Amino acid sequence: MAYLFTSESVSEGHPDKVADQISDALIDNFLAFDPNSKVACETLVTTGQVVLAGEVKSKTYLDVQQIARDVIRKIGYTKSEYMFEANSCGVLSAIHEQSSDINQGVERTKPEDQGAGDQGMMFGYATNETDNYMPLALDIAHQLLIELAALRRENKDITYLRPDAKSQVTIEYSDDHKPVRIDAIVVSTQHDEFDTEDVMAKKITDDIINILIPRVKAKQKPEIQKLFTDNINYHINPTGKFVIGGPHGDTGLTGRKIIVDTYGGKGAHGGGAFSGKDPSKVDRSAAYATRHIAKNLVASGVCSEALVQVSYAIGVAKPMGLYVNTYGSAKVGLTDGEIANKLSEIFDMRPYFIEERLKLRNPIYQETAAYGHMGRKNEVVSKSFSLPDGRSISKEVELFTWEKLDYVDKIKQAFGL
């Protein structure tokens, strides 16, 4: 029997995502001037206020208030009527030095013996139902909000949009797990005041269905475009008025959107958030590494879907083990356990080697903090950073290295493909 599966996304102006982006901007600035920085930074945002807290071990000093304001300004909170505005909001810093008890478990005389920054289990997932090996419902949910933000910044076709927004996409699948059609799309977007609520509701619904949806559909390959039928159930701002939003409407915290950040409910999640953590924290680095494995595994043709788990003990370099689930889609005549053993020989999952393989001690994290950490475009960009004393630095960095298909040949060779 056919079944439905749903994933959601939230915009860069969602309060939890505002917090994530500020935390990751701090990570980037610390790593830009001191690549060996150890950082765990949490952000809280609410009406007119930002609170920064966490632990840092670094040789550099930052103007954390200015960094937070720059992020808020870039997102689009630049008007006083939003009740949260880049220039006027308060920014309180309660960042202090990292615990020496934790640090002694991470740093070692030999860098390759670096221990995991915490215990825990991390998952990576990939499926061949999209070109970027991501679950389709989540991929479309992200694209809806990326395009909505583009419309907001263009301020031409739709002129009343504010930064906060959410989306949700429900896909109908066949018995053999193939997407058949889009069953439902939910879009809730913050907006300016309208003269009347009747005009507001009709105008926003018409614009989302007739302007946003066609722009998203046009960017899909033909087989995905066919899923956009005339029978989609649309729910546009279903509660009605959405003028009060962002950190004024809801308090935002770092790390509260971990399913949006990963696979939209497909696969699994170990529970650890990503944003605000330097790569010695395996919650982040090992989640990227397992995504890298899963994506290359599916792309190589070993299977059409894969879940990869790794786990660690705090302060211990060698992981507890590697687990693979191909959901019965393996094409190589091996059990999932045998596939996992082969992958363990290809990928060194000790934290130091993950950092080196994926170039994680670079300022590459602010870009991850909205619209998902996985399924994004691997590219080289130039980024600039400044210190309170006027010194500045520009760096070319490679973003989303865990999305590279650079191990496909090695996997094919190992599995005789």
Is 249 contained in some domain?
Answer: no
pLDDT of 102 higher than 80: no
> At 110, is the pLDDT very low, low, confident or very high (cuts 50, 70, 90)?
confident
Does the annotation list 74 as a binding residue? no
pLDDT of 81 higher than 70: yes
Mean pLDDT of all residues in 64-78: 97
Does the annotation list 257 as a binding residue? yes
Spatial contact of 73 and 65, defined as CB atoms under 8 Å apart? no
Same domain, 82 and 163: no
Radius of gyration, CA atoms only, the chain: 22
Does the annotation list 94 as a binding residue? no
Mean pLDDT of all residues in 191-208: 93
Same domain, 302 and 351: yes
Q: Cα(353)–Cα(351) distance, rounded to whole angstroms? A: 5
* Helix segments in 95-254, DSSP class H: 100-106, 136-154, 197-207, 213-218, 222-225, 246-249
pLDDT of 106 higher than 80: no
Same domain, 395 and 275: yes
- Tokens representing 388? 């309170």
Weakest mean pLDDT among 102-116, 185-199, 219-233: 102-116
> At 204, is the pLDDT very low, low, confident or very high (cuts 50, 70, 90)?
very high
Does the annotation list 166 as a binding residue? yes
How far, rounded to the nearest angstrom, does the alpha carbon of residue 176 sit from its chain's CA centroid?
A: 29
Q: Cα(369)–Cα(274) distance, rounded to whole angstroms? A: 9
pLDDT at 107: 62
pLDDT of 105 higher than 90: no
Does the annotation list 250 as a binding residue? yes
Is 253 contained in some domain?
Answer: no
Same domain, 94 and 39: yes
Same domain, 124 and 147: no
* pLDDT tens per residue across span 371-395: 999 999 999 999 999 999 889 999 9
Domain count, the chain: 3
Query: Measuring CA to CA, which residue among 267, 264, 415 is closest to residue 330?
Result: 415
pLDDT at 273: 97
Mean pLDDT of all residues in 6-35: 98
Q: What percent of the chain has pLDDT over 90?
A: 90
Mean pLDDT of all residues in 32-39: 95
Count of residues in the chain: 417
Does the annotation list 410 as a binding residue? no
How far, rounded to the nearest angstrom, does the alpha carbon of residue 358 sit from its chain's CA centroid?
A: 16
Q: Cα(322)–Cα(349) distance, rounded to whole angstroms? A: 9
pLDDT at 103: 54
For 35-128, where are the E strands, in sequence order? 38-46, 49-57, 90-97, 120-127
Same domain, 142 and 240: yes
Does the annotation list 268 as a binding residue? no
pLDDT at 115: 79
Does the annotation list 342 as a binding residue? no
Strand partners, 311: 121, 321
Q: What percent of the chain has pLDDT over 70?
A: 97
Q: Cα(346)–Cα(341) distance, rounded to whole angstroms? A: 9
Same domain, 68 and 144: no
pLDDT of 108 higher than 70: no
pLDDT of 104 higher than 60: no
Is 156 contained in some domain?
Answer: yes
Does the annotation list 14 as a binding residue? yes
* pLDDT tens per residue across span 235-245: 999 998 999 99
Q: Cα(216)–Cα(198) distance, rounded to whole angstroms? A: 26
Mean pLDDT of all residues in 323-335: 96
Q: Cα(266)–Cα(373) distance, rounded to whole angstroms? A: 14
pLDDT at 117: 77
Same domain, 192 and 288: no
Phi-psi region of 265 (alpha: psi -120 to 50; beta: other; left: phi over 0): left
Same domain, 96 and 157: no
Mean pLDDT of all residues in 118-122: 91
* pLDDT tens per residue across span 130-162: 999 999 999 999 999 999 999 999 999 999 999
Same domain, 226 and 337: no
- HSE-up (13 A, CA, CB side) for residue 263: 29
Same domain, 89 and 29: yes
Q: What angle do CA 12, 125, 336 make, to 5 degrees?
A: 170
Is 256 contained in some domain?
Answer: no
* pLDDT tens per residue across span 209-220: 999 999 999 999
Is 257 contained in some domain?
Answer: no
Does the annotation list 183 as a binding residue? no
Does the annotation list 295 as a binding residue? no
For β-strands 179-191 and 233-236, DSSP reports them as: parallel
Does the annotation list 131 as a binding residue? no
> At 253, is the pLDDT very low, low, confident or very high (cuts 50, 70, 90)?
very high
Spatial contact of 314 and 105, defined as CB atoms under 8 Å apart? yes
**Listed residues 209, 244, 279: the one ending a domain:** 244
Is 262 contained in some domain?
Answer: no
CATH number of the domain at 62, please. 3.30.300.10
Residue 240 gets which letter from DSSP? S
- Tokens representing 345? 């020989």
Does the annotation list 17 as a binding residue? no
Spatial contact of 331 and 301, defined as CB atoms under 8 Å apart? yes
Does the annotation list 277 as a binding residue? yes
Q: Cα(236)–Cα(285) distance, rounded to whole angstroms? A: 37
**Listed residues 244, 275, 307: the one ending a domain:** 244
Same domain, 88 and 154: no
pLDDT at 197: 86
Is 251 contained in some domain?
Answer: no
Query: Measuring CA to CA, which residue among 81, 147, 122, 111 is closest to residue 283?
Result: 122
pLDDT of 98 higher than 80: no
Residues of the domain holding 374: 120-128+267-414
Mean pLDDT of all residues in 357-361: 98
Is 111 contained in some domain?
Answer: no
Mean pLDDT of all residues in 299-308: 98
pLDDT of 101 higher than 60: no
**Mean pLDDT (the chain, rounded):** 95
